[in-house]
Structure 1
Amino acid sequence: MEDVDFADEPDEDGEMGDEEWETEDEGVEEGADPHDDSELTYSKHTASVFCVSLDPKENALAVTGGEDDKACVWRITDGETMFECIGHKDSVTCATFSHDSSMVATGDMSGLIKVWKVEDTKEIWSFEVADLEWLEWHPCAHVLLCGTADGNTWMWKIPSGECKTFQGPNCPATCGQFLPDGKTAVVGYEDGSVRLWDLKQGSTLHVLKGSDAHSGPLTCVSSNADGSLILTGSVDCDTKMVNTATGKVVGVFRTESNVSKASKREEGEAETNSVESVGFCSVYVIYII
């Protein structure tokens, strides 16, 4: 093998010579726009964007909500704004299409929720709750579900506004989801507990607390395709798999971050990691910290 001849070799102190090393940033002018590989940029918001959703029927429209107290519905082919969802009083943190893409729901941090008809861009319903934590549509009906900072979970028929509430513990309902059957919902809470709700009866089917609960607030939940299993994620860095028929924890996925967090608690250091997203595919379980 031939010797490799470096132009600058370390001196006696192990330091390289005076010649400057070229870096990836060299040649980029100060203030120049960063490289952008996107096919389209939507820039009608005037502040940070907090949420985005695609219409499930055609995947032709997107809705985005932001710190500028509004949501925008726009075409993903050319970035043309279809209409703006205005009238919110705080940052829009939830924005999502109904199952058939005929309606879009928007919710702001203060708890004001609005529903808009996509075809004629008209607001058709609104309601105000406590500080909003999350918002989602029923998988096959015009029914909305949301969780709030006072521990309540709300459900409405749209646009009639018929309503049910599900009272949780005295702490925020931090995440939730309809199960695929449309008759059940899973809700996670700040105290680490998880509840499976019978939406028709308004009662709990199962409550995970104590040793089955998380040791920190819930951040995310997800179910598999038939609703037989759910995953729950938390700031404690654990992901738990639960059988919805029995309400029993059938698996715990613990990351190295969980061990690090325990060590940091003992040393009084700040905890930074948490499980932020969980999901099933056809074969594997996916969780993101």
Structure 2
Amino acid sequence: MAASSTTKIAWRLQEFEAHFSSISCLALGKSSGRLLATGGEDCRVNIWAVSKANCIMSLTGHKNPVECIHFNVSEEQVVAGSQSGSIRVWDLEAAKILRTLMGHKANITSLGFHPFGDFLASSSMDTNIKVGVFSCGHTQAVRSLAFSPDGKWLASASDDCTVKLWDLAQGKTITEFKSHTAPVNIIQFHPNEYLLASGSSDRTIKLWDLEKFTMIGSLEGDTTPVRCICFSPDGSCLYSGATDSLRVFGWEPDRCFDAVSVGWGKVSDVAICNQQLIGVSHQLSNVSSYVVDLKRVKKSGGAVIQGIIQDNQPLTEPKKDPKGAALRKNYERPTTTCRSQRLKHRSESDRRSPEGERRSPSEDEADEKLSSAEIHNAEDYKAIFQPKNAISRTPPKMSEPFPAPPEDGESTSVSSSCGHGILQSPRLHPRSHPAPVTTAKSKPQLKIISSARNEPIGLNVADFLPVSARVSVFRFSQQSGALSDEEALTQMKKGHETMCVMLSSRLKNLQTVRGVWTRDGIKIALDTAISMSDPSIVVDILNIINPQSLWKLDVCMTVLPQLDKLLQSKYESYIQTGCTSLKLVMKHFWTLISDTLKATPSVGVDITREERHQKCRVCCKQLKNLSNIVKNKATQVGRHGSTFKELQLLMAPLDDSP
């Protein structure tokens, strides 16, 4: 007999293919924890119920891949930003576009609706934050925005390792927090107190007192960059989502109450619903949702008595001791019973971009025609977005918690109508054969990936077929319904032997490099990989080095000449890995290289210094060559162009170097 489902602390709810191509971003509705929006490279926004794999509606209008999504407080509206910097807002109840905003010059990185007003905030790779006509900026890309619960402040987090607090009424910076040592990925206001939390790639969470503007806690324990944070509804603890893990933190004093292993990979967003924490992640075109039962997670620790933590005593709600550090001012929210105001449709101010550029009526009409909200699941749409008493509803009204599957159970396969797939989409694609972006308008049925499956997902055979074969299979399946077994086998065998030889060779090469790495170290292993004249091997090694920060100056000298090929590759995964490597080199080694080259020569013979100076001179020359490539690529439109624009900003100091 299987163990009872009540013994589960965390489980995967479901996994399904959500778009025609790779997914760029996800967002959960924070009020209900039941709605999910996904944005993809197919330029669409799809709306889902977390518990179901049937797409409710699909929103179109963007001409570039969608990079960022956000629900408003009542979950009646959703806003999406693209790689080109454009922003679109849709009314989900009316199923129509509300407005289009132009003003940013690079891809959108974060969005936020004001909790009470009829405006929103946006941030971009162009380093700017925009709130209506109010603009401000960091020195590097802004990653996260958050309005305070009373709507008076806006907090921003950036790759420049800082967190800034802005006064919306006066349009200026209140303070800047600088204790993080790596890019800040996420920020969150405490639901009640004057307290702000920030999570960073330095694997810490900082807590900031917003009365004294001081750091009152530094929560450590995550082994990977902090990707999501969320205060509990009562504000008594903080949940931190990192790769494959959830941690529960307390502060004053700093402590970790619990750590839960969750297989959600690089989690993109979390929300709390019915004493359950919902987490969502994505890989390629697949979305995975996970549930953590908070009733089984430790959310309190020992009481602090004379500086000693007593683990056998439950932590009660902090007492408001005037002498204690826990006493902080609470937010004063507007006294109203009405729901938050909704963004008006096509008002005079909507026809102007945040930069003040007026949109002509013809442009508005063209945008209306290009933008649409196609309903795919009428039953769920009516139940969620068109209730009888829309003013008082909290969408969607579902009070039952998500059930845990049996220990040995399998989830039921369900079909989806928003994604793409004649064949099931894989988790991993070989880097040498990236999956093509499909623009077919048909909506073939596909299967949900079992939530309880433990075996690895195989490669997608369609990716290795000739393009003409893939097209003919697609057309034939539409006209005749299905292929016969013999016809399907014939199509699948095309290129099979070649693919097997390629993968076998790649495996042998990787095993060789691994042996050299174990015996002689990373530098010799890289030299071996490069000597094989197979870019996919170099990319595999870099994908190990990059997340673990295994870079050294010797490694830079070896890798930089290879980045030239990767940045100009026709394969997206090669370009992405090359850009990531170049960013890490600039962030961690440029200061050392620049200072070494500018330093006054020492008196006497210093062999170590001379060797370091020579290495830095070689690296500087290679970086300048790469800078020219980056400048040319930055003129491209779309995702790659935005990535290269960010790199161009990062490499700007090279222009002033000798």
1:144 to 120, 127, 131: 120
Which amino acid is the alignment partner of residue 241 of structure 2? I
Mapped contact 2:200–2:227 kept (Cα < 8 A): yes
Q: 1:77 to 1:226 in 2, by over 3 A?
A: closer
Q: 1:174 to 1:44 in 2, by over 3 A?
A: closer
DSSP-derived class of the 1:246 partner? coil
Mapped contact 2:18–2:38 kept (Cα < 8 A): no
Q: Offset of 1:150 from its aligned partner?
A: 2.1
Measured against aligned partners, the alpha-carbon deviations of 1:229-266 in whole angstroms (never above 9, x if no partner) come to 11111111221110011211111123374xxxxxxxxx
DSSP-derived class of the 2:122 partner? strand
Mapped contact 1:98–1:142 kept (Cα < 8 A): no
Mapped contact 2:189–2:195 kept (Cα < 8 A): yes
Q: Distance in 2 between matches of 1:169 and 1:38?
A: 38
2:166 to 197, 200, 205: 197
Mapped contact 1:180–1:227 kept (Cα < 8 A): no
Structure 2 residue aligned with 1:238: 204
How many residues align? The count is 228
Q: 1:205 to 1:68 in 2, by over 3 A?
A: same
1:219-230 map, 5 Å: 219-230=185-196
Q: Distance in 1 between matches of 2:219 and 2:31?
A: 34
**Is the aligned partner of 1:171 residue 2:137?**
no
Q: 1:241 to 1:124 in 2, by over 3 A?
A: same
* Structure 1 portions without partners, runs of 5+: 1-35, 157-162, 258-272
Q: Distance in 2 between matches of 1:142 and 1:221?
A: 22
Q: Offset of 1:77 from its aligned partner?
A: 7.0
**Is the aligned partner of 1:108 residue 2:82?**
yes
Measured against aligned partners, the alpha-carbon deviations of 1:36-55 in whole angstroms (never above 9, x if no partner) come to 9747x764521233333455
Structure 1 residue aligned with 2:237: 284
Q: 1:108 to 1:227 in 2, by over 3 A?
A: farther
Q: TM-score, normalised by structure 2?
A: 0.32
Q: Distance in 2 between matches of 1:276 and 1:54?
A: 14
DSSP-derived class of the 1:47 partner? coil
Structure 1 residue aligned with 2:20: 46
**Is the aligned partner of 1:252 residue 2:229?**
no
Higher helix fraction (1 or 2): 2
Structure 1 residue aligned with 2:502: none
DSSP-derived class of the 2:93 partner? coil
Which segment drifts farther, 134-143 or 195-204? 134-143
Q: Distance in 2 between matches of 1:84 and 1:182?
A: 30
Measured against aligned partners, the alpha-carbon deviations of 1:45-83 in whole angstroms (never above 9, x if no partner) come to 212333334556666654221222110234567655443
Structure 2 residue aligned with 1:10: none
Name the % identity: 26
**Is the aligned partner of 1:180 residue 2:149?**
yes
Q: Distance in 2 between matches of 1:60 and 1:208?
A: 34
**Is the aligned partner of 1:215 residue 2:181?**
yes
Q: Distance in 2 between matches of 1:170 and 1:231?
A: 21
Q: Distance in 1 between matches of 2:83 and 2:216?
A: 35
Measured against aligned partners, the alpha-carbon deviations of 1:5-33 in whole angstroms (never above 9, x if no partner) come to xxxxxxxxxxxxxxxxxxxxxxxxxxxxx
Structure 1 residue aligned with 2:65: 91
Q: Distance in 2 between matches of 1:78 and 1:275?
A: 28
Mapped contact 2:67–2:107 kept (Cα < 8 A): no
Q: Offset of 1:283 from its aligned partner?
A: 2.1
Which amino acid is the alignment partner of residue 86 of structure 2? L
Q: RMSD of the TM alignment (CA)?
A: 2.6
Which segment drifts farther, 229-238 or 96-105? 96-105
Q: Distance in 1 between matches of 2:34 and 2:216?
A: 39
Mapped contact 1:64–1:71 kept (Cα < 8 A): yes
1:120 to 78, 88, 94: 94
Mapped contact 1:56–1:100 kept (Cα < 8 A): no
Which amino acid is the alignment partner of residue 152 of structure 2? K
Q: Offset of 1:100 from its aligned partner?
A: 2.4
Q: Distance in 1 between matches of 2:210 and 2:143?
A: 19
Mapped contact 1:74–1:82 kept (Cα < 8 A): yes
Mapped contact 2:204–2:226 kept (Cα < 8 A): yes
**Is the aligned partner of 1:135 residue 2:111?**
yes
Q: TM-score, normalised by structure 1?
A: 0.70
Higher strand fraction (1 or 2): 1
Q: Distance in 2 between matches of 1:218 and 1:81?
A: 33
DSSP-derived class of the 2:73 partner? coil
